[in-house]
Amino acid sequence: MRVLGVDPGLTRCGLGVVDGLPSRQLAMVAVGVATSDALWDVDQRLLSIERQIEEWLEEHAPDAVAVERVFAQQNLRTVMGTAQVAGIAMVAAARRRIPVALHTPSEVKAAVTGNGRADKAQVQTMVQRLLRLDVLPRPADAADALALAVCHLWRPAGALGTPQRAPGSLTAAQRAWATAEQAARRRG
């Protein structure tokens, strides 16, 4: 299964493609960022990001797209841009009939590190280890996109579109992710 992870952002949108199957090593296919110029009008910035996401979808033909769920931050402008880019990624995938999943930052962190409150450096280090990369994936937006793809691939058995695993075969990080997902659902 091939997953495109999207860490939405208006200036830098992290993109990461990972291949994975149950009981198989994960493999990074591609990683990078879609960018837009902060001096452009927002409509032109969104158009630029959309075109770059479309290119990634065309080139890498993912089976699913995993997008970071937007959460409230202090800066309303940052939240708006992030939400707009997340929407663009979802529409681009929907246009191709590619399933889309949203994952919260704490779910992603728990999936790759076992700790839903891990910092960016810990996420980068674990992504490097999990994908057996020679260097840390940079920038952090790109590493976060890879982590989103890994999180999606490691969803618990029985989730829609999830590779099936034998009962009890979840890793500690996968169990932590499942717990974080359940807590997020309860909150709402």
Q: Which domain holds residue 140?
A: 2-187
Split into its structural domains, the chain has a count of 1
**Would you state the pLDDT for residue 56?**
98
pLDDT 10s per residue in the chain (188 long)? 999 999 999 999 999 999 998 667 899 999 999 999 999 999 999 999 999 999 999 999 999 999 999 876 667 777 888 999 999 999 999 999 999 999 999 999 999 999 999 999 999 999 999 999 999 999 999 999 999 999 999 876 444 444 333 434 455 665 666 666 666 655 65
Phi, psi values for residue 151, rounded to 5°: -55, -45
Q: What is the pLDDT of residue 142?
A: 96
| pLDDT recorded at residue 187 | 65
pLDDT on residue 147: 97
CATH code of the domain in which 96 resides: 3.30.420.10
pLDDT of residue 68: 96
Residue 178 is predicted with a pLDDT of 60
Number of residues that this document lists for the chain: 188
For residues 150 and 112, what is the distance between their CA atoms, to the nearest angstrom?
7
What does the alpha-carbon distance between residue 135 and residue 115 come to, in Å, rounded to a whole number? 22
Instruction: List binding-site positions for Mg(2+).
Output: 7, 68, 141
Q: Which residues are catalytic?
A: 7, 68, 141
Sequence-distant contacts of 48-57: CB under 8 A, at least 24 apart: 49/10, 49/13, 49/85, 49/88, 50/88, 50/92, 52/13, 52/15, 53/6, 53/13, 53/15, 53/88, 53/89, 53/92, 54/92, 56/4, 56/15, 56/17, 56/30, 57/4, 57/92, 57/93, 57/96, 57/98
Burial degree of 144 (CB within 10 A; 0-12, 13-18, 19+): buried
